[in-house]
Amino acid sequence: MLKKLLTLIVVVALGNSCGSDDDTPATLQEVQYEVLAFEFIPDTGNNTNRLSYEIRFTNPNAVTITGWYQVSTTNGGLTNVRVFRNDVSCTTLAANSSCTFTHEEEASLDNGFIPSRELVDVSYFLSLD
């Protein structure tokens, strides 16, 4: 009888030491994005082309997150990936909030004429540090 009681106590103690569902880390939802504007002007008239876009990132989580993002565009079959990590807006998103990122760039037509440019993908990656 004593042996059964000790076995029961050990089993209960081990069961409680494994943790409960409350101890499991919450799964974070992906950062959502919305493209508010995307414009490519192949020839501005000043020997340049111009690319501009505006993207709203939304953090649906109940915690602040930190991360980085990339924007992929294509022109004539070539894919360009632009990574935004440091010293840009929206790398920290407060809990249940949104942030809008605006990007503008001009490039010389001396580097070649690009007739069109299209948005392919936007990705937001969480930092682990």
Coarse DSSP helix, strand, coil percentages of the chain, rounded to the nearest 5 percent: 15, 50, 35
For residue 79, give its domain range: 28-108+115-126
Is 64 within 8 Å of 31 (Cβ atoms)? no
Task: Convert the pLDDT of each residue in 51-108 to its tens digit.
Answer: 999 999 999 999 999 999 999 999 978 999 999 998 789 999 999 999 999 999 999 9
Is 119 within 8 Å of 53 (Cβ atoms)? yes
- Look at the block and give the residue holding tokens 């969480």: 126
For residue 90, being part of any structural domain is answered with yes
**Nearby residues of 27 by Cβ (< 8 Å), 6 or more positions away:** none
Position 122 pLDDT exceeds 90: yes
Over residues 112-120, mean pLDDT: 93
For residue 8, being part of any structural domain is answered with no
Q: Tell me, what's the pLDDT at 86?
A: 82
- Structural domain tally of the chain? 1
Which CATH number goes with the domain that contains 79?
2.60.40.1470
Output Rg (C-alpha) for the chain, integer angstroms: 25
For residue 12, being part of any structural domain is answered with no
Tokens of 35: 């493209």
For residue 70, being part of any structural domain is answered with yes
Q: Tell me, what's the pLDDT at 14?
A: 43
Q: Tell me, what's the pLDDT at 74?
A: 96
Q: Tell me, what's the pLDDT at 4?
A: 39
Task: Convert the pLDDT of each residue in 5-62 to its tens digit.
Answer: 333 343 444 444 454 455 556 789 999 999 999 999 999 999 999 999 999 999 999 9
Q: Tell me, what's the pLDDT at 111?
A: 85
Q: Is the pTM of this model over 0.85?
A: no
Entry field: residues in the chain: 129
For residue 85, being part of any structural domain is answered with yes
For residue 98, being part of any structural domain is answered with yes
Position 129 pLDDT exceeds 70: no
For residue 62, being part of any structural domain is answered with yes
Instruction: Measure the CA–CA gap between 17 and 81, rounded to whole angstroms.
Output: 47
Residue 25: burial class (beta carbons within 10 Å; 0-12, 13-18, 19+): exposed
For residue 68, being part of any structural domain is answered with yes
